[in-house]
């Protein structure tokens, strides 16, 4: 493995050595092909990177010192080998990944706006994702993958998955139901709604029923107010808490301006940091990773939300799906700021480099 200090700007952080596995994420990883700005048909080259909600969460957790494993399926192809290497280089345990000889690794193309007057161009700074995941290796995820991954699951304290995973196929829904049925002593189950209508079009099941069932069965649940409105008919935090009293941790992301967190009966609303958005992809995953890492570190309720915001800010001001985080000392200092100091903070990649 090359010295991380000699990497390009994309890989400028020094990824921590993984410790014992405390967290496990379960879901699809995708190869990402990022086009040049402008109409997609005019892009002569594509930058390859990696994406997928649970992949993004796993890499945030390892950066924050939480030993993490990823359970998934990839194809026996170059994209699958790339994903395994991508995660391994970032300290994620990849021993529970199954390589499928018959199905391909999923991928998506990220189209980027150039702001020209051409009819097929997007606005400058905007992006659009084109997914190619039908019949992917990860769509074959099933409860058998939990049995195969017993070694990494045995002593973990947290399992995280999203609504993307459960939407991939009926067997993937069986997998996520099996996760929620696992013994809980000393273990938390975390679920992020991540509603993707395009994935549910191919399903005969009712998305709202399945997703509501999974929210209710989780210990930690993340919901975007906009997606909750679409799925459950309300994005109001109080209404959602009344609808879902079961998760001890219920986190509602309110359109980027603030996050409302419920911890039991305690309610805490924390404003987002001021920043200049480079790209919004991956911010919700980074938030979940920051929140969950702070939870495993035993931090107080408000700091759980602040760690989420700080990690989301790193994603929003970066250029890739994977957030590259500031030093741990910077995160700790900012998370412990007074309310007035927090409100005055403006996050930039430059200020975040100061430890």
Helix (H, G, I), strand (E, B) or coil at 171: helix
How far apart are alpha carbons 263 and 303 in whole angstroms? 12
Work out the percent of the chain whose per-residue pLDDT is above 70.
91
CA dihedral sign, ordered 128, 99, 140, 88: negative
Residue 8 has pLDDT above 60, yes or no: no
Please classify residue 177 by burial: count the beta carbons closer than 10 Å to its beta carbon, then call 0-12 exposed, 13-18 middle and 19+ buried: middle
Show contacts of 179-183: CB within 8 Å, 24+ apart: 179/26, 179/146, 180/214, 180/217, 180/218, 182/146, 182/153
Residue 344 pLDDT? 86
Tell me which residue of 93, 73, 87, 64 sits closest to 156, measured CA to CA.
93
Domains of the chain in start order, with CATH, are 16-338 (3.40.1190.20)
Report the C-alpha gap between 22 and 16 in whole angstroms: 14
Dist CA 259 CA 194 (whole Å): 16
Q: How many CB atoms lie within 10 A of CB 144?
A: 14
Mean pLDDT of the chain: 89
pLDDT of 352 reads: 60
Residue among 341, 336, 323 nearest 273 (CA):
341
Q: Select from 256, 247, 248 the least CA-distant residue to 286.
A: 256
Strand partners, 250: 221, 262
Marked catalytic residue, from 93, 100, 192, 285: 285
User: In the prediction, which pLDDT does 313 show?
Assistant: 85
In which band, very low, low, confident or very high, does the pLDDT at 354 lie, cut at 50, 70 and 90? very low
The secondary structure element, H or E, covering residue 152 is helix 150-153
| Rounded Cα distance, 268 and 84, in Å | 38
Over the stretch 144-203, which tens digit does the pLDDT of each residue have?
999 999 999 988 999 999 999 999 999 999 999 999 999 888 899 999 999 999 899 888
Count other Cβ atoms within 10 Å, centred on residue 318.
Answer: 20
State the pTM of this model. Answer: 0.90
Residue 95 in tokens: 């021993």
Q: What are phi and psi of 66, to 5 degrees?
A: -100, 115
Active site residue 206: no
Side by side, the strands of the sheet bearing 158-162 are 97-100, 68-75, 23-26, 158-162, 188-192, 220-224, 249-254, 258-263, 266-271
Rounded to the nearest angstrom, the gap between the alpha carbon of residue 334 and the centroid of all alpha carbons in its chain is 22
Band (pLDDT 50/70/90 cuts) for residue 322 is low
CA distances from 98 to 28, 165, 314 (A): 12, 16, 31
Tell me how far the alpha carbon of residue 320 is from its chain's centroid.
13
Q: How buried is 66 (Cβ within 10 angstroms: 0-12 exposed, 13-18 middle, 19+ buried)?
A: buried
Residue-wise pLDDT for 281-311, tens only, equals 778 899 999 999 999 999 999 999 999 989 9
């Amino acid at each position: 493995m090359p010295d991380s200090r000699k990497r390009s700007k994309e890989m400028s952080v020094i990824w921590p050595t993984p410790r014992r596995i405390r967290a496990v994420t379960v879901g699809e990883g995708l190869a990402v092909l990022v086009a040049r700005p402008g109409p997609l048909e005019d892009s002569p080259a594509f930058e390859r990177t990696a994406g997928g909600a649970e992949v993004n969460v796993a890499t945030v957790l390892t950066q924050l010192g939480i030993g993490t494993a990823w359970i998934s399926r990839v194809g026996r192809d170059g994209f699958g080998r790339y994903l395994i290497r991508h995660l391994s280089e970032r300290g994620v345990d990849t021993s529970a990944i199954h390589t499928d000889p018959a199905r391909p690794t999923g991928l998506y193309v990220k189209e980027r706006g150039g702001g020209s007057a051409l009819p097929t161009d997007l606005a400058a700074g905007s992006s659009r994702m084109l997914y190619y995941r039908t019949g992917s290796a990860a769509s074959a995820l099933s409860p058998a993958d939990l049995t195969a991954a017993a070694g990494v699951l045995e002593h973990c304290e947290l399992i995280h998955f999203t609504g993307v995973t459960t939407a991939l196929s009926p067997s993937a829904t069986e997998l996520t139901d099996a996760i929620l049925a696992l013994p809980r002593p000393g273990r938390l189950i975390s679920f992020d709604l991540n509603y993707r209508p395009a994935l549910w079009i191919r399903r005969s099941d009712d998305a709202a029923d399945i997703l509501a069932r999974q929210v209710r069965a989780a210990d930690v649940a993340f919901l975007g107010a906009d997606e909750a409105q679409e799925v459950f008919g309300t994005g109001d935090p109080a209404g959602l808490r009344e609808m879902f009293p079961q998760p001890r941790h219920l986190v509602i992301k309110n359109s980027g301006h603030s996050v409302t967190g419920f911890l039991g009966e305690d309610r805490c609303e924390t404003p987002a940091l001021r920043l200049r958005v480079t790209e919004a992809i991956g911010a919700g995953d980074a938030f979940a990773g920051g929140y969950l890492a702070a939870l495993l570190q035993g931090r107080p309720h408000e700091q759980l939300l602040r760690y989420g915001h700080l990690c989301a800010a790193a994603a929003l001001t970066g250029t890739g799906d994977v957030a590259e985080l500031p030093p741990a000392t910077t995160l700790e200092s900012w998370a412990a700021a007074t309310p007035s100091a927090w409100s005055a903070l403006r996050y930039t990649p430059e200020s975040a480099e100061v430890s």
